[in-house]
Amino acid sequence: MRVIFVGNPNVGKSALINQLTGSRLLVANYPGTSHKVAYVHKGEHYFYDTPGIYSLHGPGESASTVRALLLDNAPSRIVNVVDAANLERNLVLTLEILALGLPTMVVLKQMDVAASMNILIDSEALARELGCPVIGLPDVKGENLERIMEWIDRPIKGDIKIDPLQLEKLSPDSASPQCQHCTQACQHNVITIDREIIERARHIAAQASSQTQAVRRGRNILETLQGWLDHQILGTVLLLALAYGLFTAMVSLIHYLEGPISSAVEPLSNVLTGLLQDLLPPGTLNQIISQAVPEGLIIPFTIIMPAMIIASVIISLLEDTGLLPRYSVALERITSFIGVSGQAIIPLTLGFGCRTPAIMATSLLPNAAERFIIATLLSIVVPCAASLGVMAAVIAKFHAYIWVVAATMLAVLFILGFGLSRMMPRKEAFVYELPPLRVPAWKNTWSKVLSRTGGFFTEVLPLILVMNIVLYSLIETGVLEWFKGLEEASQLLFGIPAEALVAVLITIFQRYLAPLVLLSLPLSSREATIAITMVALSLPCLPVMTMIIKEIGLKNLLLILAMGIISSFTVGVALNLILP
Ligand SMILES: Nc1nc2c(ncn2[C@@H]2O[C@H](COP(=O)(O)OP(=O)(O)OP(=O)(O)O)[C@@H](O)[C@H]2O)c(=O)[nH]1
Ligand SMILES: [Mg+2]
């Protein structure tokens, strides 16, 4: 049996499925977190998570995705997840769902938020008015979950079919005929709903809920904070100060942790070196493996792991508190310069953790042009946490000019974004609903940190280990010497030694491999600055490339790769000309 979870955006549909099934669907405090249908299999049931919608008959991709799922012939039950703090607005969708005639249960989420606003909901009265079971979940911990499961497990008598009249309304041709002449972004935002349904929703909400104003004394801390953050000027200042604070805290923490972690793992690496030297027969293989393996294990732990953990903690907290979408609004003016809406801040920020999910999050953006621009910037300019750790290490070792690296990256971001936006159709007005500020559900934040740092063991560590062995093989067998022939060209064009150019060429494919070569070279500050900037502005790694093909197609990926190579080389030549 299919159990389809439908509701307004950001009400807690994914969180509820996670509570019921123990799955790990992405939960975050902004509308549009789930942009595709996902399902979780438990027992005899398939739990379908859907993108948030305001109306079944609305225009836009999310509504048509939900309609398509409902039109699929398989018998289904519906769990309509409703935000108890916004009952009237949510009930519009509820009434549309009930009209379908499928077995439906209403689950009231955000009851704790409603309670803090002194909103009292009489679930029994609501069930009577709606004519379907209603269950309230008092808090994120999820009491009453068993009752929901009991309802889901209960056998259904008779046919489970959508009312034929409603079936016609759901069909693809009937959606929003009034929007034929609208622009694309407009189609995403315009919803026309039957006035009668709006009136009934208002009436039912009034019958089943009440708000006591008398006992409401002052505003709580969260509301006050939200008031400050949502103020146009004060909010922007506070958010920028917070971003600066978080960034400097992150950089200093990574720097501070490197020493203790190195001294903790170094003895282990020495033991491993000794062991490998004894085990392997003497010769070149011994030389390669006994150096490459311990180093390939140490570098990820000292340089990359702290950056990945800290970045994913910060990003998960920004997501779950509801601060991330506030940056969208505060920075709307800046993002509009590069032709994208403020929402683009969400994928761009996620990119500082790992760019693969960030590319997925580009589907939050209203049109294909914006998606392409942000996918390009993510691929070429935004450094993921692993690359950030590596860049920090190279910059620290050679005293490279950090401001030159940062300013060049920003300049490329704006030039690329501005250039692309002029070539693409203009965007329309930016309509976005800000979620309330929340204390994060720690379990959710923690599980996201775990899943975001999981890539360290499955991707970063094995890749660095293998590449380090390949690299030592090249060094020990003298292959790298061949590249000496490039010395003159490399010095002339980019002002860096041939070995550094080789490092750049290797790391163009995987930025976080940079330290393997760069850290072992005797570079000047100038040379290190140019080399690390070229590495920073290069190509997306393999998992990101795969995701780009999935989201926006191979042709666009090829375009991005070409732009990446051109950016990296142009920046190298430009810095060589400019830097003293
Ligand atoms: N206070 C409170 N927060 C909740 C509750 N349920 C979910 N949340 C939080 O609400 C936010 C949104 O939860 P999601 O499960 O991502 O919501 P969704 O309906 O799947 O959202 P979209 O996929 O964007 O449509 C997250 O920050 C959750 O931690 C609840 O009952 N009370
Ligand atoms: Mg969701």
Cβ of 444 less than 6 Å from ligand 1: yes
Asked whether residue 185 carries a pLDDT value surpassing 50, the answer given is no
pLDDT at 426: 56
- Tell me the best of 108, 438, 439, 447 to mutate to test the pocket of ligand 1, counting ligand atoms within 8 Å of each CB and taking the most: 438
> Residue 35: pLDDT band by 50, 70, 90 thresholds?
confident
Distance, in Å, from the CA atom of 79 to the CA atom of 57, rounded to the nearest integer, reads: 18
pLDDT tens track for 344-357: 888 888 888 778 87
Q: Give which of 543, 542, 539 is closest to 564, Cα–Cα.
A: 539
Going from the Cα of 444 to the center of ligand 2, the distance in angstroms, rounded, reads: 13
CATH number (3.40.50.1970, 3.40.50.620, 3.40.50.300, 1.10.357.140) of 2-211 reads 3.40.50.300
pLDDT at 217: 52
pLDDT at 184: 41
Distance, in Å, from the CA atom of 354 to the CA atom of 376, rounded to the nearest integer, reads: 15
> Residue 219: pLDDT band by 50, 70, 90 thresholds?
low
Total residues found in the chain within this entry? 580
What are the boundaries of each domain within the chain?
2-211, 232-428+446-578
Rg of the chain (C-alpha set): 27
Q: For residue 365, give every residue at least 6 positions away whose Cβ sits within 8 Å of its Cβ, in sequence order, or none.
A: 340, 341, 343, 344, 347, 371, 374
Going from the Cα of 30 to the center of ligand 2, the distance in angstroms, rounded, reads: 9
Strands 45-49 and 2-7: parallel
Cβ of 325 less than 6 Å from ligand 1: no
pLDDT at 87: 92
Strand partners, 78: 4, 104
> Residue 25: pLDDT band by 50, 70, 90 thresholds?
confident
Determine the average pLDDT of the residues in 321-333: 83
pLDDT at 21: 92
Nearest CA to ligand 1 atom 11: 29
- Tell me the best of 16, 25, 29 to mutate to test the pocket of ligand 1, counting ligand atoms within 8 Å of each CB and taking the most: 29
Q: Which residue has the higher pLDDT, 176 or 426?
A: 426
Out of 183-197, 322-336, 372-386, 434-448, least confident range = 183-197
Q: Cβ(434)–Cβ(325) under 8 Å?
A: yes
Question: What are the strands, taking DSSP E only, across 278-394?
Answer: none
> Residue 188: pLDDT band by 50, 70, 90 thresholds?
very low
Sign of CA pseudo-dihedral 513, 519, 520, 521 = positive
Q: Cβ(346)–Cβ(361) under 8 Å?
A: yes
Cβ of 12 less than 6 Å from ligand 1: yes
Determine the average pLDDT of the residues in 38-49: 91
Q: Residue 318 half-sphere exposure, CB side, CA atoms within 13 Å?
A: 24
pLDDT at 251: 75
pLDDT at 377: 93
Cβ of 25 less than 6 Å from ligand 1: no
Q: Which residue has the higher pLDDT, 431 or 198?
A: 198
pLDDT at 182: 39
pLDDT tens track for 518-539: 887 888 999 999 999 998 887 8
pLDDT at 536: 87
Going from the Cα of 31 to the center of ligand 1, the distance in angstroms, rounded, reads: 9
